[in-house]
Structure 1
């Protein structure tokens, strides 16, 4: 089985106990382990993969909670470092009645941002491994430089790189710099997952077809395009497309839904003996249906990791 490595932030999501209430008026929160790379690593592991998370947490109660939660679902935590120099990142969430969310982040800086590039030296990637990253950790920091080093290593050994921008505008003071950073890292991926909500920012194209076409730069060979209630598309460099509709689901909390979706796809890619792009070409329809099934379970409950199903539960 291919090994899966996710790099980036691990944090605590504070989920409100009330809906339709602004953050300043919420009277209660439930802490849940989160952060997109963390969520994806957990999803891959719970769905039968061999998952590792590359991050750093603070030497605090929240860092302990993250490590213990991941160990409980058997994610390999040997690459998670701890530091006294900064605290574990926090995100406070507000929820609308339809389960959509808004975030307020506390990470200036947080422990994950201080992860040094030299730590990548001890990680032994192999051909066939999958490397997953997002954009939240690409702000100018040691962690950004660690991403560059890991992607260099992935290219050297022939690992497959998956990029989910997971755009979070409030974390960037300069949105032009954010766009330029996305454009610098995009060509390094073989598979890109992007949502309809972030497509225009990632590409600076308003026309959907033109925007999707513009994602095929550098190494990019496949784009996974999620459209909420409109379903998802799997698009290849030659223009061929696989479409799957979203099955009905009761949305309680959409936190981590996109992470569960790409995590489910990544789990299938890890379990296949074929090359990832070939797996997507031959089995893309079934893989998208499986990803919808997993994310549908996640949005019906609170918490990004606690709501992740196992294969047996599906």
Structure 2
């Protein structure tokens, strides 16, 4: 495989999604297994959009770890960077999805393998050849993965590539809100492309509205900041301004992976652009975000995250139908 245009570093996990609509895991009667984890979702989303992508991370030396590796490979994602470890088990997530697409999450983990990512496990020389390196938030939960994540980000910056970060908050996994805020803000200060949803933006900045939050986040150093607002669309900014785009109206079946799909669409547009990542104008970013909105909308039309990621042809057809 030629050098990846985007490398996703972080967690891959197995989602068990309720097989019939229900508001709570306590009332779920069956589950369907699917590959998941934010960086893995983004990697597949990018590959489906025609971007050369590689995944780097640790999975358990178990059946679920083999399943994840096989699934990523099946969707065209490079898997040279996956390490199967016996230091932990592959993380599992149980997800109940209601009739309106809302979700109830619970994680099952005992010494999760994804947290055992050591610096020595990563071929940094290979990773930094990518235009963008997307670093997964679960790496920040514990050491050694946390130390590895910061080390990779520093090396990416030193070599002139760009770091992408999406905090993807799952508060149940953190001991204290102050801890996640401190650790994520440290990563954001090394980030070129930052994506989060509106609730996360308020959490990290304390701002009352999205525009104020986006100004505060730009002040941390990212050159591109995008805040997604679900069906309402997204607000985005570069150093030359802030804009907002409305979302596409669709009848959502499952919102799992919509943010990851949006991020895949965003990064695909950035990679395809001839504009350097740190030179994007807000007008140029608007075109990219329109496509990203379309990807997120399409993901909501199917159950699961990875199985719902659309192809480039799907996105083109959807946008054509909207115009």
TM-score (norm 1): 0.94
Question: 2-side partners of 1:117 and 1:136: how far apart?
Answer: 16
Q: Find the aligned partners of 2:128 and 2:90 in 1 and give their Cα distance.
A: 30
Supply the distance in 2 between the matched residues of 1:241 and 1:235 (Cα, whole angstroms).
4
Post-superposition, which runs of at least 4 consecutive aligned residues in structure 1 deviate over 6 A? none
8 Å CA contact 2:238, 2:280 repeated in 1? no
Which structure 2 segments of 5+ residues have no match?
316-323
Q: 1:114 to 1:4 in 2, by over 3 A?
A: same
Quote the Cα distance in structure 2 between the aligned partners of 1:162 and 1:219. Answer: 12
1:78 aligns with: 80
The two structures, once aligned, show a CA RMSD in angstroms of: 1.8
Q: Which digits, 9 at most, give the CA deviation of each residue in 1:97-121, with x for residues without a partner?
A: 2101121012342111011122235
Which is worse superposed, 154-163 or 205-214? Answer: 205-214
CA distance in 2, matches of 1:257, 1:25: 24
Paired residues, number: 313
Going from structure 1 to structure 2, the CA distance change for 1:55 and 1:28 (only over 3 Å counts) comes to same
- Name stretches of at least 5 consecutive residues in structure 1 with no aligned partner: none
Structure 1 residues 170-227: Cα deviation after superposition (integer angstroms, max 9, x where no partner): 0001111111111211111011111112212122333433322111234311211111
Residue of 200, 203, 209 corresponding to 1:201: 203
In structure 2, relative to structure 1, the CA distance for the partners of 1:128 and 1:66 (3 Å cut) is closer
Q: What residue is the counterpart of 1:110 in the other structure?
A: 112
CA offset at residue 122 of structure 1? Answer: 4.6
Q: Does residue 274 of the first structure (1) align with residue 265 of the second (2)?
A: no
3-state SS in 1 of match to 2:249: coil
Structure 1 residue matching 2:78: 3-state secondary structure: coil
Match in the other structure for 1:145:
147
Tell me what 1:308 maps to: 309
Q: Distance in 2 between the 1:213 and 1:95 partners?
A: 34
| Deviation (angstroms), 1:128 | 6.1
Query: For 2:168, what is the secondary structure of its paired residue?
Result: coil
Distance 1:253 1:268, change over 3 A: same
Distance 2:282 2:129 in 1: 20
Name the SS of the counterpart of 2:219 in structure 1: coil
What CA distance in whole angstroms lies between the structure 1 residues aligned with 2:270 and 2:108? 34
- Give the Cα–Cα distance (whole angstroms) in 1 for the partners of residues 246 and 223 of structure 2: 22
Alpha-carbon distance, 1:31 to partner: 0.7
Contact 2:8 2:40 survives alignment (8 Å): yes
Partner of 2:16: 14
The 1:150–1:122 alpha-carbon spacing in structure 2 relative to 1, beyond 3 Å, is: closer
- Higher RCO (Cα < 8 Å, 6 or more apart): 1
| CA distance in structure 1 between the partners assigned to 2:33 and 2:195 by the alignment | 27
* Separation in 2, partners of 1:83, 1:128: 25
1:188 counterpart SS class = coil
1:179 aligns with 181
CA distance in structure 2 between the partners assigned to 1:121 and 1:129 by the alignment = 16
TM-score after normalising by structure 2: 0.91
Matches of 1:172 and 1:156 in 2, distance apart?
30
Question: Does the aligned pair in 2 maintain the 1:280–1:287 contact within 8 Å?
Answer: no
**In structure 2, distance between residues paired with 1:2 and 1:26:** 39
